[in-house]
Amino acid sequence: MKRARNRKYSAAITDVANSVAFQDHFMRRFSTWTEQPLFETWEALGSGNSHHRRPRRRSALSLAEHCGIVEGPRPQLTPLEWTKVKELSRQRKDGLNPCPICKEKFQIKEKVLLSCSHVFHRACVLSFEKYSQVQPCCPVCRTTHYEKLVLKNNSIKFKHLCATRIQTAFRGHRTRKVYGPKFRCPTDPQKRRAWFASKLENAVTPILSQMEVDESEVDALCREVDSTIAHAKKIFEAADARGGSGHHQRNNPSSSSLSSVDWHHVVEKALERGESECPICIGKLLRRGAKHKGLAWLSCSHMFHIDCISTFEKFNDDLSEPNTRAKQYLCPVCRSNYKRLDM
């Protein structure tokens, strides 16, 4: 009985202590703030390290924070943690935006970086802490128990920005002064006409130059086609003069049927297509070497190597039976009957 009574008494004392601790914590939080603000950390000029002032004594912890009922303030940030905080603020480009408290540019005034990575004027933060009716917190994210880092290189960045703006304005003024009259239309009618004529000439000259280049390329292509046709005609005339000795006909033994084909038209049509590969062996038509036997022209205007088309015809003969061997061959490309001329 005595032990149970002691347990109840201890539990009652614990509940009372917790209640008192919470009451003290909320009284400190919501009552008028009269304690000293948190200490500041000063950034050293010309280096990335931080120079710490002798820290002021932190605000007295409440009873709830001493007992661990409420989370207390975080430990001081290390130089490495301050570097991460500055990098986070730099990524948000807080230095280019106005101060969230006074809505003015930072310019050459001292800036303060809080441990929550938000940036303010140092005077604005001190005034905010002085006249705050409750425990000070970040005006943006409401973080309490923050630390402050006074940035000293703000004036250098602002001076560099001002110099850049001055240089930009001067370059623009000089460019407008030099090139402005060239783009300003004169008021005199004759000068106005000459001005528009020069503008039109500048716009048309590149087009005419490109047209001349295209025309020369087309002329070169036409000359090449004409020379190819003339060379083919000479070959046909030489073959006709030899009495058709260079001709080799398949599918029809009579020379009258071979001569009935307009081979000049066939050659012209084949050259217009501009084929450069044999459809059977996928090799170049104009082969070089001792084994090159020439080209075979079909009446359907397709060209092959003589050995390729001969092998194709022999393959068809081997597939068909001797009694039913076809006398007509089909073009490997268009599948039409053809007459063949070898050169």
pLDDT in tens, 116-145: 889 998 889 888 888 876 677 888 888 877
> What pLDDT, on the 0 to 100 scale, is given for residue 45?
41
Q: Could you list the residue range(s) of the whole structural domain that residue 143 is in?
A: 2-152
> What pLDDT, on the 0 to 100 scale, is given for residue 170?
95
> How confident is the model over 268-295, as pLDDT tens digits?
888 888 888 888 888 887 765 545 667 8
> How confident is the model over 58-73, as pLDDT tens digits?
456 665 566 656 666 6
DSSP character string of 4-42: HHHHHHHHHHHHHHHHHHHHHHHHHHHSPP-SPPPPEEE
90/204 same-domain check: no
Flag whether 158 is in a domain.
Answer: no
98/217 same-domain check: no
> What pLDDT, on the 0 to 100 scale, is given for residue 149?
87
pLDDT for 104 beyond 90: no
> What pLDDT, on the 0 to 100 scale, is given for residue 210?
86
Flag whether 254 is in a domain.
Answer: yes
**Residue 168 pLDDT grade (very low, low, confident, very high; cuts 50, 70, 90):** very high
Flag whether 203 is in a domain.
Answer: yes
Kindly provide the residue ranges of all beta strands, DSSP E only, lying in the chain, ordered along the sequence: 40-43, 50-52, 111-114, 119-121, 148-151, 295-298, 303-305, 340-342
As a whole number, the mean pLDDT across the chain is 74
191/58 same-domain check: no
Kindly provide the b/e burial profile for residues 197-219, where b requires at least 16 CB atoms within 10 angstroms of the residue's own CB: eeeeeeeeeeeeeeeeeeeeeee
Which tops the pLDDT comparison, 101 or 131? 101
Flag whether 160 is in a domain.
Answer: no
Mean pLDDT of 24-29: 60
Query: Residue 296, exposed/middle/buried by CB under 10 A (0-12, 13-18, 19+)?
Result: buried
Q: What is the 3-state secondary structure (H, E, C) of 245-267?
A: CCCCCCCCCCHHHHHCCCHHHHH
235/253 same-domain check: no
Among 193, 221, 242, residue at a domain's last position = 242
Q: Please name the residues in contact with 267: beta carbons below 8 A apart, sequence gap of 6 or more.
A: 229, 232, 236, 297
Among 215, 242, 269, residue at a domain's last position = 242
Flag whether 267 is in a domain.
Answer: yes
147/10 same-domain check: yes
> What pLDDT, on the 0 to 100 scale, is given for residue 52?
47
> What pLDDT, on the 0 to 100 scale, is given for residue 12?
56
> Which range among 113-122, 177-186, 293-302, 312-321 shows the weakest confidence by mean pLDDT?
312-321
What percentage of residues in the chain have a pLDDT greater than 70?
Answer: 66
Q: Which helix (H) or strand (E) holds 49?
A: none
34/128 same-domain check: yes
97/61 same-domain check: yes
Flag whether 172 is in a domain.
Answer: no
Task: Tell me the H-state helices in 93-179.
Answer: 122-131, 154-179
Answer whether 309's CB lies under 8 Å from 280's CB.
yes
204/271 same-domain check: no
CATH number at residue 268: 3.30.40.10
> What pLDDT, on the 0 to 100 scale, is given for residue 199?
85
22/110 same-domain check: yes
Among 222, 242, 262, residue at a domain's last position = 242
301/233 same-domain check: no
> What pLDDT, on the 0 to 100 scale, is given for residue 247?
42
213/288 same-domain check: no
Instruction: Say how many domains are in the chain.
Output: 3
Torsion of CA 7, 12, 13, 17, to 10 degrees: 140
pLDDT for 167 beyond 90: yes
> How confident is the model over 224-246, as pLDDT tens digits?
888 888 877 777 777 666 544 44
Q: Please name the residues in contact with 24: beta carbons below 8 A apart, sequence gap of 6 or more.
A: 62, 63, 64
Cα–Cα dist 272/47, whole Å = 76
Answer whether 113's CB lies under 8 Å from 86's CB.
yes
* Residue whose tokens read 């068809």: 316
191/101 same-domain check: no
Phi and psi at 120, nearest 5°, equal: -145, 170
Q: Is 297 helix (H, G, I), strand (E, B) or coil?
A: strand
Flag whether 230 is in a domain.
Answer: yes
> What pLDDT, on the 0 to 100 scale, is given for residue 174?
92
> Which range among 9-18, 73-82, 189-198 shows the weakest confidence by mean pLDDT?
9-18
Answer whether 102's CB lies under 8 Å from 82's CB.
no
pLDDT for 30 beyond 90: no
Flag whether 69 is in a domain.
Answer: yes
